[in-house]
Structure 1
Amino acid sequence: MVRLFKHYIPHTVLMLGMVDLALLLFSAEAGWVMRARQIGMAVTPLATRVPQLLSFAAALQVSLVAVGAYGVGSFLSLRFAAARLAVAVALGVLFLSVLYFMVPTIGYWRSNLLYSMGIACVLLVGVRALLGRTLGGETFKRRIVVLGAGSRAARIRELSAQPGVNFTATAFVAMGEAAPAVGDAVPRDTIANLAAFVTDLGASEVVLALEERRNALPLADLLRVKTTGVQVYELSAFLERETGRIDLGSVNPSWLIFSDGFAAGRMISSTVKRAFDIVASLLLLIVTLPVMIIAAVAVKLESRGPAFYRQRRVGLYNEGFDIVKLRSMRVDAEVPGKAQWAAENDPRITRVGRFIRKVRIDELPQTWTVLKGEMSFVGPRPERPQFVGELEQQLPFYAERHMVKPGITGWAQINYPYGASVEDARHKLEYDLYYAKNYSPFLDLLILIQTLRVVLWPSGAR
């Protein structure tokens, strides 16, 4: 994987993205040249239309990211990839229409745009038909050797069997575990030279997955492996990179303390983030005000009670604040003072409420909370005080998520469905900790762009 601005990106995704960018630039130029020759116009030098080419490619590339065109499904199913590409092209047209309206000097003629879009569709589908299975297959997967055969090593085996993973476990080495969980692990005492064993398998990484590290670290073996050029990773770091979350089952306080991340010097990034929150919240409040008014009227017409309601949440440094939401449940949905998890097909949700939850309209009033500075657009979702007390007792490191300002959307929201239980909260906490550890403006931008995918395919909304 490539670490870009502290965030891990698979090599295959980066390669496909670069190929797509080249194809989009080619499509933009080919569409312009084709239309120019069709009407008998002289083809001017390429340098005269660089802004048009870049705007076309950038808008389509952002659309591809937004709809999840670089997700696992795009490498495994051509039908899935083609469907996402179709939506991305439609979004790209909308983006370009707005952009060309605001900056007419970089605009294409509509006929040029039509030709370029058609060429881009053919090329993007074609490259996925030719390379999709190859990029998602064994050819580009990293080969690893796992030291350990216990339950921690078994977790790597389970992960390696999932579709779309970026590695293959070539061997497990039993290090004398009392209760091995990987039956086909090779006993360490049968391997004369571990470094030679690893290199003979063509492995590029060794993952340390011992059950008990105290006085059990094979330092001599690890040193020889490292000096051959093979990378050595501890299990928690390996799982963080491969899954995009901090695995609570393997992590410990010392790893969080001594690993990189949780940088304190974020003054410039925080200032930029706050400036973005102010400008974007003002614009969004203005643009979405008619939508909120229509939704509020629909809520009032369907059921008695107020259209908006306030709810107490826990924010930065464990301080409480109130968020404003459009009401999506009956007014008697909860006993006063007793919080209750939302459930799938929750009978308390009204018909209008179910729709506004699916498309996230009920969250729009929270933009006011962002403008006030109590929330950000991106960050861990703030939880209710009643749930926070319960979760802090049951989940390790839950209090650490309050060291980051909460947000309307976040890394957990685009990677995991709506949390409606302690187990769901555990999984979302793993993503929230990853965000807090690896925060950067790049990660914020990626989350904001991919939030559109969650809105378009709201499978996790409740």
Structure 2
Amino acid sequence: MFRLFKHYVPHAVVWLALIEFIALLASAEGAWHLYAHQAGFDAGALNDRGLPLATFAIANSLAMMATGMYGVEALRSMKFATARLLAAVSLGVIFLSVLGFLLPTATLWRANSLFAMALAIAALFAIRLALTQTAGADAFRRRILVLGAGPRAARLAALAAEPGSGLVVAGFVAMSGVERAVPGAVAREAIPNLSDHVVSLGAGEVVLAMEERRGSLPLADLLRVKTTGVHVNDIASFIERETGRVDLATTNPSGLIFSDGFSAGQRISRASKRVFDIVASLAVLVIGLPLIVIAGIAVKLDSRGPVFYRQPRVGLFGQSYDIVKIRSMRTDAEAAGKAVWASENDPRVTRVGQIIRKLRIDELPQTWCVLKGEMSFVGPRPERPSFVAELEQQMPYYAERHMVKPGLTGWAQINYPYGASVEDARVKLEYDLYYAKNYSPFLDLLILLQTVRVVLWPEGAR
């Protein structure tokens, strides 16, 4: 795994993205020469067109990230990858058209762009076809050896067995006689040399998943394994890296205290995030104002009641504030006066509400809260005070999610779209803690790009 600004990305995905970026540059360069040959002029020096080539490659690379081209499904299915590729190219065309209108010299000419898009689609399709027909998903799978054969080790076995998993468990080593949750585990006494065993299995990483470490941690063996170049990791850090979640079942307070992370409150990070929020919220409010007006008129015509509604939410450091949204439910949605979890196909949602929720138009007025500093564009989604009081009693570390500003979109929202129960809130908390622990501008950018995917392919928006 490659650690990019505190967020882990599989090496194979990084290499694939780099290869495809080079393919985009080559497509733009090939299109330039093709057009020059047809029009009968000299192509000129490469330095003279460096900026247009770069903007073409960067725009389409970002569009591919936004449409999920580097997700598990796109890496395993050629059909899925092709559909997302066409969507990515469409997004790239839109972005380059806007950029070309603002900065004409920063983009390719229209004829060049047409040729470049055609060559890019062919090149990227060929790369993905070669990937799926040769290595397939196995190119993105890593072999691990698990030390332990109890319930924790069984969790890793289940994680490796999930569809699209990037793991292959090469073997389990039962470190004590009481660990019997994983059948077929090899007893530690039956292995003469643990480091040789790791090498013979071709494992690139050893994961500690023992139920009890005190007095049983094989330090000498682990040191020998480490010196052979094999990475050694504990189960909590491993699950966090693989799933993008802080696993509550294996995490303890000392693990969070002494681990690297939780730097979102540092002065430079906080200042840069605030500057982005101000600029972006002003832009969204100006550009989105016509949509807000149209949606407001539609809501007024569709059902009785106000266009907007306010609702108290818990924000930074547990402070309460009011969010503003376009009303998408009936005015009697909570007639009993008790907070109710949203549900899929919620009958309280109006006809217009269903549309504006799927398109996230109902969220646009919340950019006013971002401008005021009560929210950020990226962060954990704020919950209602009554839900927070309940959840803080039922699960550990829930208050820690309020150490960063709530956001319009977040790591939990792009990875786990539903949140209609206490168990769903627990999973979302694991994603929120991961975001708070591993915050970086790069992670914010990744979340914003992936939010485009969620909007384009809404998976049960509520």
CA gap of 1:179–1:206, structure 2 versus 1, over 3 A, is closer
2:400 corresponds in structure 1 to 400
> C-alpha distance in 2, partners of 1:369/1:451?
19
TM-score (norm 1): 0.98
1:24 corresponds in structure 2 to 24
> C-alpha distance in 2, partners of 1:133/1:151?
37
> C-alpha distance in 1, partners of 2:403/2:451?
23
1:104 corresponds in structure 2 to 104
CA contact (8 A) 2:65 2:449 kept: yes
Farther off after superposition, 155-164 or 122-131? 155-164
Equivalence map 1:372-391=2 (5 Å) = 372-391=372-391
> C-alpha distance in 2, partners of 1:396/1:193?
40
Equivalence map 1:407-418=2 (5 Å) = 407-418=407-418
1:426 corresponds in structure 2 to 426
AA aligned to 2:213 is: R
CA contact (8 A) 1:400 1:433 kept: yes
> C-alpha distance in 1, partners of 2:349/2:148?
48
> C-alpha distance in 1, partners of 2:261/2:146?
25
Instruction: Describe the SS at the equivalent of 1:377.
Output: strand
> C-alpha distance in 1, partners of 2:136/2:363?
36
Farther off after superposition, 292-301 or 333-342? 333-342
2:75 corresponds in structure 1 to 75
TM-score (norm 2): 0.98
Quote how far apart the aligned CAs of 1:301 are: 0.6
Gaps of 5+ in 1: none
Quote how far apart the aligned CAs of 1:163 are: 2.8
Describe the superposition over 1:276-329 as per-residue Cα deviations: whole angstroms up to 9, x where unpaired: 111111111011001001101111111100010000000000000000001110
Describe the superposition over 1:6-49 as per-residue Cα deviations: whole angstroms up to 9, x where unpaired: 01111121111001100000000111110110121122111110
2:248 corresponds in structure 1 to 248
> C-alpha distance in 2, partners of 1:23/1:139?
20
> C-alpha distance in 2, partners of 1:331/1:40?
67
CA gap of 1:191–1:400, structure 2 versus 1, over 3 A, is same
Instruction: Describe the SS at the equivalent of 1:321.
Output: strand
Quote how far apart the aligned CAs of 1:196 are: 1.3
> C-alpha distance in 2, partners of 1:334/1:352?
19
Quote how far apart the aligned CAs of 1:263 are: 2.6
CA contact (8 A) 1:378 1:410 kept: yes
AA aligned to 1:129 is: L
Q: Give the alignment's Cα RMSD to 1 decimal.
A: 1.3
1:311 corresponds in structure 2 to 311
Instruction: Describe the SS at the equivalent of 1:98.
Output: helix
Describe the superposition over 1:428-461 as per-residue Cα deviations: whole angstroms up to 9, x where unpaired: 1111000000001111111111110000011131
AA aligned to 1:421 is: S
Equivalence map 1:46-445=2 (5 Å) = 46-132=46-132, 134=134, 136-263=136-263, 266-335=266-335, 337-445=337-445
CA contact (8 A) 1:314 1:385 kept: yes
Instruction: Describe the SS at the equivalent of 1:138.
Output: helix
Instruction: Describe the SS at the equivalent of 1:405.
Output: coil
CA contact (8 A) 1:75 1:135 kept: no
Quote how far apart the aligned CAs of 1:198 are: 1.0
> C-alpha distance in 2, partners of 1:404/1:265?
7
Gaps of 5+ in 2: none
Farther off after superposition, 333-342 or 119-128? 333-342
